[in-house]
Every structure is written in structure tokens, then in C-alpha cells.
Structure 1
């Protein structure tokens, strides 16, 4: 039997990976692993995924990379290639973060905005996937979607938008 190709991790772009690494370490409590410092930073959430019974499995949580817009590595040309700037217009990939049970979307949004992020929207429930959502844009233009599980009988506050 063949196996599917496997997602390893996703990179987001910054013109200052060191500052972005510090931002994500402070906002989400992740380990900031520079490889090398200022060029590429691997954000390590720590811990392992949970299985269907709620027990920690042997599968580690996914990592996020932060690459430098001026010279995205790896690339065969040591000087990199254009574009060498942050993408400012149009849609970009979005990163989805499951909020842990000992944290909250509001606390994360407060930490993120205090460090220069912008709240894009909040107080939304997506029935199809049974989740409460909010989103922010980090100081480098990356869109982060926060997700909280709705549970078996979610109570959606009246002021929330829904779909």
C-alpha cells in the first residue's frame, strides 16, 4: 500500500525572523529555535498530539518556520531570488492554531495586539467544523486563525456571527 505525501511544517515570512520568533514565543509560549539566528527560526510548540481518547500520543506537535523575505532558504542560488519583500496585497496562506484549554482567544489576541498585531475579526462560530474562531494579522502580514473546539453541545453567544 502506498502512503500519502506528508506535511512536515509550514513557513511564514518575515523581514525580521528574530523579532517574529520572539513575537510567537511570547504570544503562544512556543520555543524560539533560531537556525541560524535572524535567518530562519523554527517555532516549537512542544508536547505531543492527543489521540481520540484524549491521551498524549507519540506524535509531536507540528512546528512552524519563519523565513527571511530577503533571502528565502533553501535555494540553489546562495543570493536567493526575487521577490525579497513581504507580500502586502491579496490572499496569503493562513495558519490555524488550536487554542489550548488553559488559554483563551481573548488572552492571545491581547498579547498579540500588545506586540503590534491587528485583530482581523473575532467572535465567530463555524458550525460545519464546530469551532469558535478569531483571527489576527501579525506585524509581518501573516494571517493567524485561532480555533477553540465547540464541544458536544456548543453554546454560541448571541453576539457571535455564525455560518
Structure 2
């Protein structure tokens, strides 16, 4: 049997990769690897994926890349390729973050203090048995915060649900 194709990385655009990297380092506590500063930043959440019993596996958490929308690298041409601006209207990829020992309220407050827009709070999605909230960062990327519902989730009456 052949190996499956494996998702290894997700990149998001910014018109200021250094500021975007600082935002995510401050909001989530991730390490900011400058590759080089202002051109490409790799956000390293640290830790490993969990096994079904809750113990840490040997598989490291995925990293998130932040690239300069004016000249996305890598590209075989030094000038890159158009478009060179951020996509601010319409649908675009969303990034889902599984909340560990943190809280959605703390993350949303930290994001909003740094210029993010809160999209929603306190929603339960029964299809995937999870609690979620979301924000749009100052560069237009939508971040969905996810908490697992567990075996018998109790959905507070104040939550919306579907």
C-alpha cells in the first residue's frame, strides 16, 4: 500500500508578516520563527498531538506559516506572482485551533485587544460535538476556536447550537 498524501503545513497571507507573527505569539503563546523576519514567519505551537488515552504522541503539532502577500515565497521568479494584496471580501480558508488548557474567553479578549474582530462566541455544533467561537484577525484571516464536547456534552442555555 502506498503512503497517503499528508497535510504538513498551512500558510496565511499578511501585508505585515512580522506584526502578524507578534499577534499570534501574544494571543496563543506560540514561538515565532523568523525565516527571515518580515518575509516569512513560522508559528510553532509546541507540544505533540495526543493519543486517544490523553498521553502525548510522537507526532508534533502542525505549524502555521505567515507569508508576505506582496511576494509570496517560495516561487521560482524573484518577483513572485499576482495578486499581491490581501483578500478581504468573500469566503477564504479558515483556521481551526483546538483549545488546550486555555479558554475561549481569554483568547478572544487577547485577540480583540490586539485589533481582532469577534465573529461569534459560545456556539455548539452537534455534527462534530464541539463548542466554538471565532474571530477575524487584523489581516482578514478567520480563526475558529474549538473545544471538544466529550461523551455527554452539556450545552449551556446561553449558547447557540446546530
Length-normalised TM-score, structure 2: 0.98
Partner of 2:11: 11
Partner of 2:135: 136
- How many pairs does the alignment contain? 162
Q: Verify: 1:121 aligned to 2:120, yes or no.
A: yes
Q: Hey, what's the Cα distance between the residues in 1 that align with 2:143 and 2:114?
A: 14
Q: Hey, what's the Cα distance between the residues in 1 that align with 2:88 and 2:59?
A: 35
Partner of 1:103: 102
Q: Hey, what's the Cα distance between the residues in 2 that align with 1:150 and 1:52?
A: 15
Alpha-carbon deviation of 1:88? 1.2
Partner of 2:65: 65
Q: Hey, what's the Cα distance between the residues in 2 that align with 1:52 and 1:121?
A: 29
SS at match of 1:18: helix
SS at match of 1:13: strand
Ranges in structure 2 where 5+ consecutive residues have no aligned partner = none
Partner of 1:112: 111
Q: Verify: 1:84 aligned to 2:72, yes or no.
A: no
SS at match of 1:155: coil
Ranges in structure 1 where 5+ consecutive residues have no aligned partner = none
Q: Which runs of 4+ in 1 moved over 4 A?
A: none
SS at match of 2:57: strand
Alpha-carbon deviation of 1:123? 1.0
1:79-133 CA-partner distances (Å, limit 9, x unpaired): 1111111001110000000001x21001000000000000011110001111000
Q: 1:19-38 alignment to 2 at 5 Å?
A: 19-38=19-38
